[in-house]
Structure 1
């Protein structure tokens, strides 16, 4: 923070106010500054959701509600890029520039790593006191908890998700109808549909090979050959993983084959996720494989054609989990306010807002979700969750694995390395990490 001398005084006054209020036993949202503290305070908040996304819309409302219920407190919101936070969080959170609360990616390689490094606040007591542990199902709590090794699924609460997400297939209904294509229910039907588009001179899938989307397609293909024990072994080190086994071998070889067949453009290796989405919105591509985080934006911006979604055809499991986490940096100067803000985002009104904006809430009133498309989105997630189908994401297990996965899929797109060589590159850092944590 700037103006260090002034802020030192303010911090002391704020801390005294917080202690006084704590002595009064306030645990309601607003309790951190509830009765008219004389000193102004600022909650520094970072997240990377677009303003028109479901989360961006809901959290903007949460900020308004927070400020209304906390007289004298201002929220200083800074929108950060996903890549920006992904690459700099460890350095920033270890400095005096850390925010009070921020959105951060879940999983061993991200939130797990920061928790192991002591950069995140243990939220276990707050989760129990405020009832967050009752609002989130056990499967959604998986990404909130990390053990001493930084492995998700058990241990202390280091984050709180207030939405869920999963990877699906977005499709242009008008383009499908023009080619006489029905929504596919098997992988064979899916590839037959893409063959039709290729024959008509259209590259079927909009892909962002420079970021996360390409690796998620490869993972979806691997999951078509996978069962739950394989996912648990890969994500939580419960058993050794053979990167040349049927799962990853099928994923990598089929992904490379899709490039050769023209389902994926050979130019997509340098395409960012944002440009991938914009291309789908424009109608250039009839298919896009990505997450539910795009849903609200598509609902707001697609005007030229009818669109819809379906689960990856034939899979029991798909990439998906709780949404990203609210985390409170250990260096946060206003932890009480951060807890209050999380509480507000978990409330029914913000959760209902999230659902109606095209997100997947974790604690909404189902009757309050009025849009038919949004209901379908939430129902598909419920179906996936009910069949134990959330398989997390391929870059989660290992710190720095995101970049390894991006490089690997770029090599498959460019054809610079054969699938078995790419799998060797994926296996190396994974095994090194497995050895380092003692499994």
Structure 2
């Protein structure tokens, strides 16, 4: 996202994550030595997400293996890191390790600017490269132009992610709507909900969700070469081609039909997730990063399905662990990454509803967690991970947010919307 994932965590969730992690660190001071080393860690996962739970366990494991070393987790939201990381990493106050968004416009840009540590030697020595499939490792490597897919390793992920349709089975049953197995089923379901004064789709115009709905619509009319042209500059991207045109026109039409509420223009991802959790919105299209939280908090029966009628969906290796060039304790950072890739932590991540890259899948027993991993294997088997819409060029995330908001309010027509995207994209594509 988000800047594929935009992984949404509200400030309250981030604060709670910080409180939990700090609590987990508090008893490990080995006598409170004032000269004990500290590993400063930033991430923005909710404490009851799969990654949040796994990394909390990793902190405990790390401190047990490193007597006298404390992990200092510093509360940051996704948006904070997204907007301030370049400045923070270019200062003496950089953390030792942080979660950062993958893609050309984010991790790629920082690698090009010389702000990230080249991890290639460490990756090879510790065998991390052997744990990742080609599709997952794509976003960990960047060339001298900051373009993903080849070159040096500037980040390491310990999970994968992808998008899917989450649906409230209780609401579908209440309105006698069949669970969506085809795209026509999805449209019929949305029509039925609108007829009953229920806005079908949870949406967030102020953050990543809205643009991801639109990108998925484009992907349903696209193929791998289209993705490579757009994301990897393998050709010239045309925002007035059949896929983008269909996406923009269909999205605008869905707003008119009431599938997407105009009131969602200023909503954030957290608002969309909460509307689904509260049973207000029967359908949410978003990422696997919500899975563990929904398992933990949902009080109704819910299910998932891949976007019907499309071989491609948004997804990739997960956000990256990156080590700032100016980090003071790089070896400790490498050790922490290594622990997050251990079987113990990977199996926990899978059990909690994540998509691990190095788990013993037979050790994952939860039925919903198994379903999540099975869906991912289906996508991987058909080369279906198509990355995220804001990745290609720096600043494109903000452009997509503001322009897609205009589609929701109706202040911009689809053709003008696509003109704006083309202009911003062309301006940012590196000369190669």
- TM-score, with structure 2 as normaliser: 0.91
Partner of 2:285: 289
Partner of 1:278: 274
Give the one of 226, 229, 236 matched to 2:225: 229
Question: Is residue 438 from structure 1 mapped to residue 423 from structure 2 by the alignment?
Answer: no
Partner of 2:388: 393
CA contact (8 A) 1:44 1:75 kept: yes
Partner of 2:342: 347
Pairs within 5 Å for 1:70-85: 70-85=66-81
Partner of 2:332: 337
Question: Is residue 116 from structure 1 mapped to residue 109 from structure 2 by the alignment?
Answer: no
Give the one of 138, 141, 153 matched to 1:142: 138
Superimposed CA distance per residue, residues 163-188 of structure 1 (whole angstroms, 9 cap, x where no aligned partner): 01001110000111122222222222
Give the one of 169, 190, 201 matched to 1:194: 190
Superimposed CA distance per residue, residues 377-423 of structure 1 (whole angstroms, 9 cap, x where no aligned partner): 01001101110000000000010111001011100000000011111
Mapped partners of 1:205, 1:352: distance in 2: 32
Partner of 1:241: 237
CA contact (8 A) 2:50 2:352 kept: yes
Mapped partners of 1:185, 1:409: distance in 2: 27
Superimposed CA distance per residue, residues 204-249 of structure 1 (whole angstroms, 9 cap, x where no aligned partner): 0110111000000000000010010000000000110110001111
CA contact (8 A) 2:169 2:179 kept: no
Partner of 1:255: 251
Pairs within 5 Å for 1:8-157: 39-157=35-153
Superimposed CA distance per residue, residues 294-342 of structure 1 (whole angstroms, 9 cap, x where no aligned partner): 0000110111x10111101111000000110000000000000000000
Give the one of 283, 289, 301 matched to 1:306: 301
Partner of 1:14: none
Q: 1:419 to 1:394 in 2, by over 3 A?
A: same
CA contact (8 A) 1:321 1:390 kept: yes
Residue 141 of structure 1 and its aligned partner are, at CA, apart by: 0.7
Mapped partners of 2:262, 2:35: distance in 1: 58
Partner of 2:208: 212
Q: 1:46 to 1:38 in 2, by over 3 A?
A: closer
Give the one of 155, 179, 182 matched to 2:175: 179
Give ranges in structure 1 of 5+ residues lacking alignment: 1-36
CA contact (8 A) 2:292 2:353 kept: yes
CA contact (8 A) 1:62 1:345 kept: yes
Residue 359 of structure 1 and its aligned partner are, at CA, apart by: 0.5
Give ranges in structure 2 of 5+ residues lacking alignment: 1-32
Mapped partners of 2:180, 2:303: distance in 1: 13
Q: SS of the residue aligned with 1:78?
A: strand
Question: Is residue 158 from structure 1 mapped to residue 154 from structure 2 by the alignment?
Answer: yes
Mapped partners of 1:229, 1:180: distance in 2: 40
Give the root-mean-square deviation of aligned CA atoms. Answer: 1.1
Mapped partners of 2:227, 2:275: distance in 1: 32
Residue 161 of structure 1 and its aligned partner are, at CA, apart by: 0.6
Mapped partners of 2:359, 2:93: distance in 1: 34
Q: SS of the residue aligned with 2:41?
A: strand
Mapped partners of 1:38, 1:408: distance in 2: 51
Residue 39 of structure 1 and its aligned partner are, at CA, apart by: 4.6
Q: SS of the residue aligned with 1:76?
A: strand
Q: SS of the residue aligned with 2:420?
A: helix
Superimposed CA distance per residue, residues 342-369 of structure 1 (whole angstroms, 9 cap, x where no aligned partner): 0000000000000011101000001110
Q: How many residues align?
A: 400
Give the one of 396, 416, 424 matched to 1:421: 416
Mapped partners of 1:97, 1:188: distance in 2: 53
Partner of 1:403: 398
CA contact (8 A) 1:151 1:236 kept: yes
Residue 38 of structure 1 and its aligned partner are, at CA, apart by: 10
Q: SS of the residue aligned with 2:321?
A: strand
CA contact (8 A) 1:49 1:79 kept: no
Partner of 1:9: none
Residue 40 of structure 1 and its aligned partner are, at CA, apart by: 1.3
- TM-score, with structure 1 as normaliser: 0.90
Partner of 2:12: none
Partner of 1:324: 319
Superimposed CA distance per residue, residues 73-114 of structure 1 (whole angstroms, 9 cap, x where no aligned partner): 000001310011001110110011110000000000000000
Partner of 1:33: none
